[in-house]
Structure 1
Amino acid sequence: MIHHLSIDARDPLRVAGVLAEIWKGKVYKFLIPGSYLVMPFDNYGTHIVVFKSGDVWIPGADIEAAKVNQAAPTDFVSAHAAISVPISHQQIEQIGKREGWRVLTRKQGNGNPFSAVEFWVENRYLLEFFSPEFTPQYLQAMQPESIDRILGQPIDFAPV
């Protein structure tokens, strides 16, 4: 279970507002200046923190906790998340188009094990959204027998 994640954005407040709209959540100022927390208030404490572009987590020294530091912003990132949301894929598409962001609904079939909406926040950060009609497909595709069929057998690691 993933309870939260953080992303960065050129316009963190705008991005947080859009994510709250899709998630039917609320936006709060976060502990780091210029960053925001989006909460749907589900049963798991799930949330997304939207930092300003270039903010990155770095380890603390010795017993010091991790902290956020400003680094050079990047155009794209390797991290992405897949999130079930309470609105239809058509509503997600409308929101993305309104914002001027790339949105693509991938339907199950032709090599896609499940349907999802590719939602490119600020045209640089990928979030995959599962509308209520897509979530069951995803959950079915993530079962052990489906994963084995799609990816083959798991890798066995010998104890060290």
Structure 2
Amino acid sequence: MMYHASIAAKDPEHVAKVVAELWGGEAIPFLPTNNGSWMAIASDDRNTALEVYPYQMVLSYEDPKVVIPDPDPSTTDYVATHLAIGTKLTADEIFAIGKREGWFTQRLRRKMGFDVVELWVENRVMLEILTDEMQADYLETTTTPRWMAALEMWKEAKAAGKM
């Protein structure tokens, strides 16, 4: 099952608003990246979301910021596309698959308060894999009200000059 995905667009805000309209949801700035990215939230039982990054941004496990600018995408294999998917496997089983395939794999905690195992397919496309335990945390922490509260906190911090 899929929980969220990301794409790159020339006008991330507009694209997120159109997708949110299609879903009957909300569109908000995607705060964890703070780079002009937007997110469409479906407000459904899976907290389905689409992250929309600015065109020519890519995801990379080599940079701690995760989403980085790439003015010349022809020079890299990285892309802005990723999927968050659920699995019945354990984290150890996911790591074993990553090792077997020679794909970079790491467990990380996201700012919203849930863990993922990143499995970088062919070391260029990220899958955020959620075990059963991680799926419960994801569903609890990525609700529309939580995203809206985070947006308000971000606006207050920005207005106070803390960003």
TM-score (norm: length of structure 1): 0.46
Tell me which structure has the larger Cα radius of gyration.
1
Higher helix share: 2
TM-score (norm: length of structure 2): 0.45
